[in-house]
Structure 1
Amino acid sequence: MLDFLKEEGVDPAVIEGIAAFRAAHPVPEGMAQRVPDPKYRYYGREVWNQAATVLLCGENLLLAGPKATGKNVLAENLARAFGRPCWDVSFHINMDASYLIGSDTFNGEKVVFAPGPVYQCARYGGFGVLDEINMAKNEALAVLHATLDYRRCIDVPGYDLIQVDPAARFIGTMNYGYAGTRELNEALVSRFAVLDLPLISEDDMNKLLRHHFPRMSPRYAGQFVQLFYDLHKKADSAEISARAVDLRGLLDALRLMERGLDAASALDLCITNKTFDPYEKTLIRDVIAARIPKNLDRAKVFPG
C-alpha cells in the first residue's frame, strides 16, 4: 500500500509518518483478518495527504460529500495503509448506544458482557468506520462523545472505564440528502476533522479503469469516463435523479461486458434500471446512447 501512495505522489513526509505509525503499532494478535484488503484503490493525492495527516495527528475524520465520491473506499484504504484492524458500523435510525458499546447477554451459564464494535475498536486500536453516521439518532451518538474527544475513554455501565488504545481512530462517512438522514449534532461534529470529498477527477477515473480492466480499449475507456460525467451533469441540473450517478454500477456494467454481455443490457442492469420512472429511464438511455453504441460488443471494448 505504501508503494501505491508513492505512485500517487503523496507527500514523502506523510508516507514516512504512516510507516512509523505501523512500526509503533503492530497488529494485535488474532486481529490480522480484520485488516481490510480493499477491492478498489482511492485515487487522489491531495485527499490522501489531508486524510492521512489528520489520522497521524491523532484526530478522527469525517468524510462528507455526495454520492460516488468514494467515502467508504477511502476509509477502507486508510485502514489498509495504516495496517489497522477495521470495524464497520452501518448506522440506522433504530440503532442505540448498547449496540455500539456492548450489552449483557446470556452465554448458557451466566450473564456476560458482549462488546460492541466501538468497544472492540477502542480496545484493539482499530479503525472504526461509522458509515452513514447522520442516519442515527443524536441520543445514540451521544455515547461516543467521551470516546472521540480528548478523554478517549469508554465508561461501560456496570463494568469498568476503559481507555481507548492510542492507535484507534474513528472515520465517519455521511451523504447529503439521503432519505432518513438528519443534521449532525454540533457537539459530535466538533470531534471530527471534516473532509469534503470531491468527485473523482477524469485522470484518476482513467487510472481506476486501467487498474481494474487492463485489457480495455483506451478509446472506450475514455467514452465510459465521459459517460459518468455526462450523467453527473444531468443530475446536477436536476434533469435526472442521482440514482444514475453510480460509479460502482458503471464498474459492475463493465464487468458484465467483459464476460460477454452487450453494452445496452449491461448498462440497463447496472445503471438505468436503478431508477423506476419510465420517463427518467428514457432520458438516461439517451445520455448513454450519445456515448456508447447499443450494439457495442465485448471484442471492441476488450480487444485481444
Structure 2
Amino acid sequence: MLEFLRKEGISEKLICEIEKFRKFYKVKGELKYRIPNPRYNYYGNDVWEEAVTALLCGENLLLVGSKATGKNVLSENLAAAFGRPSWDVSFHVNTDSSSLIGTDTFENGQVVLRHGPIYECAKWGGFGILDEINMAKNDSIAVLHATLDYRKIIDVPGYDKIKVDEAGRFIATMNYGYAGTRELNEALTSRFMVINMPGISTNNLEKMLLKEFPNINSKYLEQFAAMFNDLRIKSENSEISTKSVDLRGLISSINLMDKGLEANKALEMGITNKSFDDFERELVVDVIRLRIPRNLERSEIFTD
C-alpha cells in the first residue's frame, strides 16, 4: 500500500510518518488477519493527504459524500496503509449499545462479557469503520461520545472502564438522503474531522478499471469511464436518480463481459436495471448507447 502511495505522488514526509507509526504500534500476531488487504485502491491525492494527516494527529474521520465516491474503499485503504486491524460496524435500526460494546453470555458456567466491535477496536488499537453513521440510534450515539472525544474511554456498565488504545482511530461514513438516515447532531459531528468526498475523476476511474482489468482495450477503457461520468452528470442535474450511478455495478458488468456475456446484457444487469422506473431506464440506455455499441463482443473489449 505504501508503494501505491508513492506511485500516486503522496507526500514522502507523510509516508515516512506512516512507517514510523507502523513500527511504533505493533500488531499482535493473532490480530494480523484483521489488517485489510484491499481489492481496490482509492485514487485522489488531496483526499489521501488530508486523511493521513488527520489520523497521524490522532483525529477521527467522517467521510461524507454521495454514492460512488469511494468512502468505504478509502476507509479500508487507510487501515491497510497504517497496518492496523479493522472492525466494521454497519449501523441500522437494530444497532444498539450492547451490539457495539458487548453483551452478557455464559462461559464455563459464568456470566462474562462477549466483546463487541467498538470494545475490541478500543482494546487493541484498531481502526473502527463506522458505516452509515447517520443511521445510528440515540442509544448507539451515546456510546460513541466518550469514545470519540478527548476522554477516549468506554465505561461498560457492570464491568469496568477501558481506555481506547493510543493507536485506535474511528473512520465513519455517511450518505445524505438514503432511507432511514438523519442529520448528525452537533455534538457527534464535533468529534470528527470531516472530509467531503469528491466524485472519482474520469482519469482516476480509468486507473481503477485498468488495475482491475489489465487486458482491457484502451478505447473501451475510455468509453466505460466516460459513460460512468455521463451518468453521474445526469444524476447531478436531477435528470436521473443515483440508482444507476453504480461503480460496483460497472465493475461487475465489465467482469461479466470478460466472462463472455454480451456488453449490452451485462450493462443492463449491472447498471440499467438498477432503476425500476421505465422512463429513467430509457434515459440510462440512451447514455450507454452513445458510448457502447449494441452487440459488442468480448473480443473487441479485451486484447487477449
Misfit runs of 4+, over 2 Å: none
SS in 2 for 1:31: helix
Residues 142 and 188 of structure 1 are in contact (CA less than 8 Å); yes or no, is this contact kept in structure 2? no
Whole-angstrom distance in 2 between the partners of 1:5 and 1:83: 14
Whole-angstrom distance in 2 between the partners of 1:4 and 1:284: 34
Do residues 145 (structure 1) and 145 (structure 2) align? yes
Alignment of 1:63-142 (within 5 A): 63-107=63-107, 109-142=109-142
TM-score, normalised via structure 2 length = 0.98
Whole-angstrom distance in 2 between the partners of 1:227 and 1:296: 15
5+ residue gaps, structure 1:
none
Report the alpha carbon displacement of residue 105 of structure 1 after superposing the two structures with TM. Answer: 1.4
Do residues 48 (structure 1) and 48 (structure 2) align? yes
Alignment of 1:117-196 (within 5 A): 117-196=117-196
RMSD over aligned CA atoms reads 0.9
The residue that corresponds to 2:300 in the other structure is 300
Residues 138 and 185 of structure 1 are in contact (CA less than 8 Å); yes or no, is this contact kept in structure 2? no
SS in 2 for 1:150: coil
Query: Residue type of the partner of 1:286?
Result: D
* Percent identity of equivalent pairs: 58
SS in 2 for 1:243: coil
Whole-angstrom distance in 1 between the partners of 2:273 and 2:202: 25
Whole-angstrom distance in 2 between the partners of 1:138 and 1:96: 8
Deviations 1:232-290 (A, max 9, x none): 11111111110000111101100000110011100001111111112211111111111
Deviations 1:120-176 (A, max 9, x none): 000011000000000111332111111111111111111111111000000000001
The residue that corresponds to 1:58 in the other structure is 58
The residue that corresponds to 1:251 in the other structure is 251
Whole-angstrom distance in 2 between the partners of 1:248 and 1:117: 26
Query: Residue type of the partner of 1:56?
Result: L
The residue that corresponds to 1:238 in the other structure is 238
Whole-angstrom distance in 1 between the partners of 2:204 and 2:303: 23
Deviations 1:158-207 (A, max 9, x none): 11111110000000000011111000011000000000010011211111
Report the alpha carbon displacement of residue 114 of structure 1 after superposing the two structures with TM. Answer: 0.6
Do residues 24 (structure 1) and 24 (structure 2) align? yes
Do residues 224 (structure 1) and 235 (structure 2) align? no
TM-score, normalised via structure 1 length = 0.98
Whole-angstrom distance in 1 between the partners of 2:237 and 2:138: 33
Stretch moving more, 68-77 or 154-163: 154-163
Whole-angstrom distance in 2 between the partners of 1:95 and 1:173: 16
SS in 1 for 2:30: coil
Residues 138 and 184 of structure 1 are in contact (CA less than 8 Å); yes or no, is this contact kept in structure 2? no
Whole-angstrom distance in 2 between the partners of 1:205 and 1:286: 21
SS in 2 for 1:67: coil
Deviations 1:33-66 (A, max 9, x none): 1001111000111111000000000000000000
Report the alpha carbon displacement of residue 108 of structure 1 after superposing the two structures with TM. Answer: 5.9
SS in 1 for 2:296: coil
SS in 2 for 1:205: helix
Tell me the matched-pair count. 304
The residue that corresponds to 1:266 in the other structure is 266
